[in-house]
Structure 1
Amino acid sequence: MRCLLIDDDVPTVEVLRDIVRWDEYGFSQVIEAHNLMEAKSCFEAGSPDLIICDIEMPRGTGLEMIQWVREQGCDCAFIFFTCHESFDFASTALTYNADSYLIKPLDEYKLDEALHRSLESLKRRRTLGEYSRHGLAWLRNKDLVEKSFWSDVLSSTLSTRKDLIQGEIQRRDLSFTVDQKFILVLVSVTASEIDEHWNASVFHYALSNLGSEILFNRPNPDRVIPYKQDNQIYHAFILDGGTEPLQMKASGERLVRLCKQYFKCTATCYISEEMEISQLAPCKGKLEQMDASNLIFRGIVHFQNDSFQYNATEPFALDTHMYTLLFAQKDKMQIVKRLKLTLERLAAQNILDAATLHSMREDFLQVVYAFLAQNNIQAHQLFSDDIAKRLLQRSDHSVFDFMKWAHLMTEKAIDTLKETLQSEGVVERAKRFIHENYHWDISRDDVAASVFLTPDYLSKTFKTETGMSIIEYLNAHRIEKAKRMLSERLVSIGTIAADTGFDNLSYFSTVFKKLTGESPNAYRAKHKPED
């Protein structure tokens, strides 16, 4: 252990150093300091286990020292000594957990007694602190162990044999038995509802806490298993059996209501019957299937044996003729509005099931692709970005996602057409693509793809606008770049040909002579750069 002696009076420090048998107390190092600055610098080598400090010093008091020591988080033993007995000094010292307060001149017997008392107190504090750390670690580990158990149960990692489950419960030292009954509450939220507003881990934490407070009446993270599947975020709550169904429904409704109020999302709650641990994983699968088939009965509480009754008697067909006319009119607002009204009407008539939503998506997609084809716009280029792909994948999972997808399709299709109708804009964008990529092996198809048009349509528009074909314009631009290089760079003609996008020297020379009337060598001779 280490002891730090602090006093501005050097003889006092020397007496302290010499009269105490430090090794008998377990100290291997005794450090001396004569003011607070020196004392604080001693902490760089490590915190001392004991500080013996004068209270009254000219360059900072002992009370300032103990306050600083405690602020550093150091729980060492602390003994004060001073020339004047003062209740104010003593009471302040006790506030900062000083162990002893001695009056000068130092009495060797009293000092020995103070050392014994201070070190015993330090030993007790450290022992209790160790127990506390072990206890907290055990509690945290217990939560993780139980959470891991329920996660293994729900993911079917554990066997469904009761003897093996009971063995696992005993091995993990959990406080329930294999014969105990439980209730599974599955809370579902569509991921796209929170993607733009929440970090996923923060949302899991928030909903886990809210659900625990409502369903368990206390924080209970070891009985909450969050996970994501397809486009749904789930939180599985495992409750002890014995709760009345009406009470469970009331708790679920409160959770749904507070999710809407605080998280701005629609949560749907599914409640299982009471069952043994071995039945929980299959039950979770059934509740997930319920959720997947649930399009319009969301934001409410459902029990395991509830069924969704749809009135659909025949497949629904979208009015593709009407939407074709709306696209021709480029009326984005009416297209989205009509889709929304159609979905609301189907929901009100209780006929909007998964098959109907999928049918609507396919019909709408047909209208959009026909509109694009009629206007020579390539759909696969227009909708190839990650956002469009992700929305398409989610579009028949929920009404919310369908509308986001349809809105994107409508916006992109009509806005792109408006751009392409401005011929000058299309041609200028095609030229810019050529200027930026002439040194690569690009073709007419590549140029057309950059403006989302078919090659034939762009070629016709480009020729009308410039009097040149796309390839003629590309070659002319390449030769202009080559002429500058020939007059400015002392590199081989083959290098210049490659740098301007020609894949062989012969073709480069042919095109160069055709456009300039002379060979590359002759042009360089006339415009030879100076050495």
Structure 2
Amino acid sequence: MRCLLIDDDIPTVEALLRIVNWSDHGVGETMTAYNIQDAQRLFEAARPDIIVCDIEMPRGSGLDMIKWVREREYDGGFIFFTCHESFEFASTAISYNADAYLVKPIDKTKLEAALRKAVDALKQNRMLDEYSKLGMTWIKNKEWVERNFWRDILTEAISPRTDLIQWEIRKRELPLTVEGAYGLFLVGVPRSQLEGHWDSSIFQYALSNLGSEVLFRQVNHDRVIPYQTESAFYNAMIVEGPFDAEQLRDIGERLIALCAQYLKCTITCYISETVAISELSRTREQLELLDASNIIFRGKVHFQKDPFHYDTTDRYALDMDRFALLFVQKEKIQIVNGLKKELERLTEQNKLDPATLHSIREDFLQVVYSMLLRNHIQAHRLFADETILQLAQQADSSVFDFMKWAQAITDKTIDSIREALKSEGVVDKAKRFIHEHYKQELSREDVAAHVYLTADYLAKVFKAETGLAIKEYLNECRINAAKQLLLESKSSISEIALETGFDTLSYFSTVFKKMTGETPNAYRSKHKPLQ
């Protein structure tokens, strides 16, 4: 599908392109326009499936755009966003069949929900058109329509207002009422459990089918809604109230056992109180927060009304002196095993709550930073690796995620300290970096960053081994390359100066004469072989 983004504010357009993973919504091509006139030209050249448009623009409003496209029988999705909430704008947008009306600053979750709603509506309309051509009835899509209704309820793509929900029920011709009471049966699995073992889409399909069969005794039930966040996979299953809580507990325990047996993963089940349909989205958020705070009670069934109970009478403090000594001794295995045993002991004593796990992480980092500072290694450069950044984001989620992060941090820290202590290896690495990048603008800070050292410390080590400052070595490398070009190429002196990394011809000539005793022209005339 093709999407057209329209806003006179260029940074907003760039942000929209960046924050949304468009391919996840089936959008393979995005077009951008910064005024209505350009948008109309793009529309006529390649009609988009979805339009995301600002309302207030100086050279024609978003309302002008939706009127213009609807007059041309455009049936695609249309999402508005604006800085100011206005009943007049909203009512006009609705009259032209807009899919959503969002207020800036754009919330990623709400934008993706609106986008998903627009895409689903578009697919549904096109499917229904195709069915009508084939003489098929709308009833064949009932399950698909109802599943999307519940997804829209849970994500607030449908506003949690009773009147709007009732309107959607009537519009979609669903056998539901807003007066009914519902419960949420949420199944959660941390992403970290599945890395390297499952394709995410296959896993979600398997988990939702297993949950559907256990809870509803039917595969692919329309009230089983799979979705995912940055840290977990979820299945939200809507059950009608009133329900038997103990019966749901038994179902949850059976589902946990089946997932362990067949999917080789540990799921956790959360069961809400019965609520009105308009409260389901807020209930989903509350259960997700409950899951995020669950450090040691995974693989069980939990009711929303029963909070986790931790023993926090005595606050735990990491023995930082002990771990600092292990880092000095470079005992990787003892560091990781020591942390693991501490976490296991706290878990057994029911003392490992989220705050305690976070405090252990901060104390451990303090030990690491102290060791890096002592060895003149810059932590922010050392830990800029994408894998470590991702592990750090998940470290507070569970003991498993914490240990993965601690292992990576420990390995990186001790390996870097060992490298730093081998001054020969560091200098050789710095030399190689200079030889590979001498044509670029290069500072001693750039070289130091490559070997994870401070610039002052590397300069000291480099001078001690080579007898040259880093800048002197860089110039020597550049002049050697220039000498070869003077003899082997027909390039001008100024071209050679730029090609070997010098900013100006005068500075190149000054350095060249200082190092060779001759000007570049004289060197070429004297040493270039006769043709």
* Superposition TM-score, scaled by structure 1 size: 0.72
What is the 5 A alignment of 1:149-164?
A: 149-164=149-164
Which residue of structure 1 lines up, in the alignment, with residue 430 of structure 2? Answer: 430
- CA displacement at 1:371 relative to structure 2: 0.5
Q: Tell me, what secondary structure is at the counterpart of 2:222?
A: helix
- Once residues 263 and 339 of structure 2 are traced to their aligned partners in structure 1, the CA distance between those partners, rounded to angstroms, is 27
Which residue of structure 1 lines up, in the alignment, with residue 174 of structure 2? Answer: 174
Q: Tell me, what secondary structure is at the counterpart of 1:312?
A: coil
- CA displacement at 1:314 relative to structure 2: 4.7
- Once residues 168 and 370 of structure 1 are traced to their aligned partners in structure 2, the CA distance between those partners, rounded to angstroms, is 59
- Once residues 136 and 461 of structure 1 are traced to their aligned partners in structure 2, the CA distance between those partners, rounded to angstroms, is 79
**Amino acid aligned to 2:504:** N
- CA displacement at 1:309 relative to structure 2: 0.9
- CA displacement at 1:132 relative to structure 2: 12
- Once residues 419 and 137 of structure 1 are traced to their aligned partners in structure 2, the CA distance between those partners, rounded to angstroms, is 71
- CA displacement at 1:363 relative to structure 2: 0.8
Contact 2:509 2:520 in 1 (8 A): yes
**Amino acid aligned to 1:311:** D
- CA displacement at 1:134 relative to structure 2: 5.6
Alignment CA distance shift 1:380-1:162 (3 Å): closer
Alignment CA distance shift 1:445-1:166 (3 Å): closer
What is the 5 A alignment of 1:105-254?
A: 138=138, 141-254=141-254
Q: Tell me, what secondary structure is at the counterpart of 2:275?
A: coil
Which residue of structure 1 lines up, in the alignment, with residue 116 of structure 2? Answer: none
Q: Deviations over 1:241-265 (max 9, x none)?
A: 3542222111111111222222222
- Once residues 450 and 163 of structure 2 are traced to their aligned partners in structure 1, the CA distance between those partners, rounded to angstroms, is 65
Contact 1:377 1:453 in 2 (8 A): yes
Which residue of structure 2 lines up, in the alignment, with residue 83 of structure 1? Answer: none
Matched, 1:414 2:414: yes
Alignment CA distance shift 1:131-1:289 (3 Å): closer
Which residue of structure 2 lines up, in the alignment, with residue 334 of structure 1? Answer: 334
Contact 1:486 1:527 in 2 (8 A): no
Which residue of structure 1 lines up, in the alignment, with residue 402 of structure 2? Answer: 402
Task: Give me the identity figure in percent.
Answer: 57
Q: Tell me, what secondary structure is at the counterpart of 1:222?
A: coil
RMSD of aligned C-alpha atoms? 2.1
- Once residues 321 and 402 of structure 2 are traced to their aligned partners in structure 1, the CA distance between those partners, rounded to angstroms, is 20
**Amino acid aligned to 1:511:** V
Q: Deviations over 1:323-377 (max 9, x none)?
A: 1001000000011001111111111111111111111111111111111110111
- CA displacement at 1:226 relative to structure 2: 1.9
Q: Deviations over 1:285-317 (max 9, x none)?
A: 221221122111111001121111111125432
- CA displacement at 1:395 relative to structure 2: 1.1
**Amino acid aligned to 2:225:** I
- Once residues 349 and 357 of structure 2 are traced to their aligned partners in structure 1, the CA distance between those partners, rounded to angstroms, is 14
Which residue of structure 2 lines up, in the alignment, with residue 513 of structure 1? Answer: 513
**Amino acid aligned to 2:147:** K
- CA displacement at 1:181 relative to structure 2: 2.9
Q: Paired residues, what number?
A: 402
- Once residues 500 and 246 of structure 1 are traced to their aligned partners in structure 2, the CA distance between those partners, rounded to angstroms, is 77
- Once residues 276 and 262 of structure 1 are traced to their aligned partners in structure 2, the CA distance between those partners, rounded to angstroms, is 35
Which residue of structure 2 lines up, in the alignment, with residue 277 of structure 1? Answer: 277
Contact 1:226 1:236 in 2 (8 A): yes
- CA displacement at 1:131 relative to structure 2: 9.3
- CA displacement at 1:220 relative to structure 2: 3.2
Which residue of structure 1 lines up, in the alignment, with residue 306 of structure 2? Answer: 306
Bigger mean CA offset, 454-463 vs 347-356: 454-463
- CA displacement at 1:168 relative to structure 2: 2.4
Contact 1:323 1:335 in 2 (8 A): yes
- Once residues 267 and 298 of structure 1 are traced to their aligned partners in structure 2, the CA distance between those partners, rounded to angstroms, is 7
Larger radius of gyration: 1
Matched, 1:267 2:273: no
Alignment CA distance shift 1:481-1:161 (3 Å): closer
Alignment CA distance shift 1:427-1:183 (3 Å): same
Contact 1:488 1:529 in 2 (8 A): no
Q: Where does the alignment leave 5 or more consecutive residues of structure 1 unmatched?
A: 1-129
- CA displacement at 1:166 relative to structure 2: 3.3
Contact 1:216 1:239 in 2 (8 A): no
**Amino acid aligned to 2:261:** Q
Matched, 1:343 2:343: yes
Bigger mean CA offset, 407-416 vs 216-225: 216-225
Which residue of structure 2 lines up, in the alignment, with residue 460 of structure 1? Answer: 460
- Once residues 280 and 338 of structure 1 are traced to their aligned partners in structure 2, the CA distance between those partners, rounded to angstroms, is 43
Q: Tell me, what secondary structure is at the counterpart of 1:174?
A: coil
Alignment CA distance shift 1:457-1:133 (3 Å): same
Which residue of structure 2 lines up, in the alignment, with residue 102 of structure 1? Answer: none
Q: Where does the alignment leave 5 or more consecutive residues of structure 2 unmatched?
A: 1-129
Contact 2:131 2:137 in 1 (8 A): no
**Amino acid aligned to 1:322:** R
Which residue of structure 1 lines up, in the alignment, with residue 488 of structure 2? Answer: 488
- Once residues 164 and 135 of structure 2 are traced to their aligned partners in structure 1, the CA distance between those partners, rounded to angstroms, is 29
Which residue of structure 1 lines up, in the alignment, with residue 528 of structure 2? Answer: 528
Alignment CA distance shift 1:402-1:131 (3 Å): closer
Bigger mean CA offset, 162-171 vs 416-425: 162-171
Which residue of structure 2 lines up, in the alignment, with residue 442 of structure 1? Answer: 442
- Once residues 472 and 136 of structure 1 are traced to their aligned partners in structure 2, the CA distance between those partners, rounded to angstroms, is 80
Alignment CA distance shift 1:159-1:462 (3 Å): closer
**Amino acid aligned to 2:397:** H
Q: Tell me, what secondary structure is at the counterpart of 2:225?
A: strand
Alignment CA distance shift 1:261-1:530 (3 Å): farther
- Once residues 323 and 508 of structure 1 are traced to their aligned partners in structure 2, the CA distance between those partners, rounded to angstroms, is 52
- CA displacement at 1:234 relative to structure 2: 1.5
**Amino acid aligned to 1:189:** V
- Once residues 388 and 447 of structure 1 are traced to their aligned partners in structure 2, the CA distance between those partners, rounded to angstroms, is 22
- Once residues 478 and 271 of structure 1 are traced to their aligned partners in structure 2, the CA distance between those partners, rounded to angstroms, is 69
**Amino acid aligned to 1:255:** L
* Superposition TM-score, scaled by structure 2 size: 0.72
**Amino acid aligned to 2:345:** R
Which residue of structure 1 lines up, in the alignment, with residue 316 of structure 2? Answer: 316
**Amino acid aligned to 1:146:** E
Q: Tell me, what secondary structure is at the counterpart of 2:238?
A: strand
- Once residues 509 and 389 of structure 1 are traced to their aligned partners in structure 2, the CA distance between those partners, rounded to angstroms, is 46
Q: Deviations over 1:121-179 (max 9, x none)?
A: xxxxxxxxx99996877465222210111112112333444454333223212223333
**Amino acid aligned to 1:179:** E
- CA displacement at 1:496 relative to structure 2: 0.7
